[in-house]
Amino acid sequence: MKLTVIGCGYLGATHAACMAELGHDVLGVDVDADKIARLSVGEVPFFEPGLSDLLRRNIDAGRLAFTTSYPAAAEHGSIHFIGVGTPQQARGLGADTTYVEAAVDTLVGHLRGDHLIIGKSTVPVGTAAALQARIDARTDDDTTVELAWSPEFLREGFAVEDTLRPDRLVVGTDPDAQCSAAVAVIDEIYREILETGVPFITTDWATAELVKTSANAFLATKISFINAISELCEIVGADVSTLADAIGHDNRIGRRFLNAGMGFGGGCLPKDIRAFMARADELGAHRTLGFLHEVDAINMRRRTAMVELVERVCRRELIGANIAILGAAFKPESDDVRDSPALSVAGQLALRGATVTVFDPKAADNARRMYPMLHFADSARTAVAAADVVAVTTEWAEFVHMGPDELDPLVRERVIVDGRRCLAPHIWAAAGWEYHALGGVNRS
């Protein structure tokens, strides 16, 4: 099948490559000429395991190409995915849907005949209905453009795997449409995946839009729940990691997303819960999502708690202290530093007068652009040189497996703060280090 993917950022580039991998003839479209030039030769402008190989393989096979041209997209075929970003508004908590609107407007201006647009971006409920009205107002009698919404659930770091082996496929269509071609077309596009038994949920636009924002709100709530419990654990000397294991054995609860620590960041969960609250307010449901304010507040509090823990255990005043920050990305296997708890902690420590040196295996360049006042090292060993406190802020495998004897001769003080509760405390204690975990005692 001939498909286009409009927007070649994280979501779009991965989606284009995965659709080509399924055997479709895919054209990726983006207004950023530099990005398109890089993608065209199989270079991924961000770090995502496995994506570059997938791009190259499909470009070489002649199934995948990239362009900045919307007329070329309109020519390429009649099925168009939209995967442009919906960031937080510059002046407000809601999602900024102007990129989606611009992409749809531009594309529709070039379409003739029957087309299907499948939105994948995360949008406030009601967006698809508004877009369909906008599309209808811009098309003449001999052109029909149907809009479906099929939210994306991929995680950074697992983007390829999540796209090719999703937990479910959700498609929302116009509840008032007399006839819809969308479900049959999407069934055909994803045939290979659906044959493996992946649940295929077909519904209306509003439900599909809400599925996505509810899923992210639930995940954020789960993380803030365990972090709230960790605040109690800190007071009474209980171990929140063991507690999470124990409650997680109950299948109704489940252990995943119950890792306490510095909380959630990235380009999705923080902005999505805020946009969800803003949308509920617009809809007059002012109290409905009030609990998400608390979810957000608990999450932001953990960053300050980490800063205070580092300050408390540091054996000298922060002014004049050397703090090594291991990890800048919002999570491992990613170079994304958007709303990263690690960088927020590093920045706050620097503002309190510490000399902060950051190391991250993949995210250093992005981090440097955002926080020019921090020092950046090119290895963990360089970052910890003469450190008064070593703080682990992103659980990259190389930090999890790092041994105290590697760092012993380098640091000024043998004090380590585990912001992600990912280290083995007894190993550090046995080597004579003072080990502290954010969220209270860690007996693992």
352 binds ligand UGA, rule: CB under 6 A? no
271 assigned ligand-binding residue: yes
Q: Convert 50-65 to b/e letters by CB count within 10 Å (16 or more is b).
A: ebeebbbebbeeebbb
Please give the residues from 108 up to 137 whose contact with ligand UGA meets the rule CB under 6 A: 122
Let me know if 268 is a catalytic residue. yes
Among 134, 257, 300, 368, binds ligand UGA (CB under 6 A): 257
Identity of the residue, 303 or 331, whose beta carbon is nearer to ligand UGA in the bound complex: 331
305 binds ligand UGA, rule: CB under 6 A? no
Alpha-carbon gap, residue 117 to 108, rounded angstroms? 9
Closest contact distance (angstroms) between CB of 163 and ligand UGA is 10
442 binds ligand UGA, rule: CB under 6 A? no
Among 7, 85, 172, 263, binds ligand UGA (CB under 6 A): 263
366 assigned ligand-binding residue: no
One-letter amino acid of 6? I
Among 7, 42, 172, 266, binds ligand UGA (CB under 6 A): 266
Identity of the residue, 200 or 257, whose beta carbon is nearer to ligand UGA in the bound complex: 257
2 assigned ligand-binding residue: no
Closest contact distance (angstroms) between CB of 264 and ligand UGA is 3
Identity of the residue, 59 or 217, whose beta carbon is nearer to ligand UGA in the bound complex: 217
Residue 381 has which token pair?
């060993």
333 binds ligand UGA, rule: CB under 6 A? no
Identity of the residue, 122 or 355, whose beta carbon is nearer to ligand UGA in the bound complex: 122
Alpha-carbon gap, residue 391 to 71, rounded angstroms? 51
Identity of the residue, 10 or 433, whose beta carbon is nearer to ligand UGA in the bound complex: 10
Closest contact distance (angstroms) between CB of 269 and ligand UGA is 5
331 binds ligand UGA, rule: CB under 6 A? yes
Residue showing tokens 């003072």: 434
**CA distances, 79 to each of 27, 72, 73 (Å):** 11, 13, 10
Identity of the residue, 266 or 404, whose beta carbon is nearer to ligand UGA in the bound complex: 266
- Stretch near ligand UGA under the rule CB under 6 A, chosen from 67-75, 186-194, 265-273, 274-282: 265-273
Among 265, 347, 361, 404, binds ligand UGA (CB under 6 A): 265
Among 30, 146, 156, 311, binds ligand UGA (CB under 6 A): 156
153 assigned ligand-binding residue: yes
331 assigned ligand-binding residue: yes
Alpha-carbon gap, residue 95 to 440, rounded angstroms? 35
Closest contact distance (angstroms) between CB of 43 and ligand UGA is 21
362 assigned ligand-binding residue: no
Identity of the residue, 70 or 81, whose beta carbon is nearer to ligand UGA in the bound complex: 81
Q: Which of 8, 18, 233, 268 is catalytic?
A: 268
433 binds ligand UGA, rule: CB under 6 A? no
Cβ pair 366, 335 in contact under 8 A: yes
Among 148, 169, 182, 219, binds ligand UGA (CB under 6 A): 219
Neighbours of 179 (CB within 10 A): 5
Identity of the residue, 216 or 442, whose beta carbon is nearer to ligand UGA in the bound complex: 216
Residue 127 has which token pair?
């967006």
Among 29, 65, 223, 411, binds ligand UGA (CB under 6 A): 223
**CA distances, 80 to each of 185, 256, 352 (Å):** 11, 34, 50
Closest contact distance (angstroms) between CB of 302 and ligand UGA is 8
Alpha-carbon gap, residue 84 to 96, rounded angstroms? 11
Q: Under rule CB under 6 A, how many of the chain's residues touch ligand UGA?
A: 22
230 binds ligand UGA, rule: CB under 6 A? no
Residues that bind ligand UGA (CB under 6 A): 122, 152-156, 216, 219, 223, 257-259, 261, 263-266, 268-269, 272, 330-331
Task: Indicate the annotated binding residues.
Answer: 30, 35, 86, 122, 153-156, 212, 257-261, 265, 271, 331, 338
Task: Indicate the annotated binding residues for NAD(+).
Answer: 30, 35, 86, 122, 156, 271, 338
For the annotated catalytic residues, the residue numbers are 268
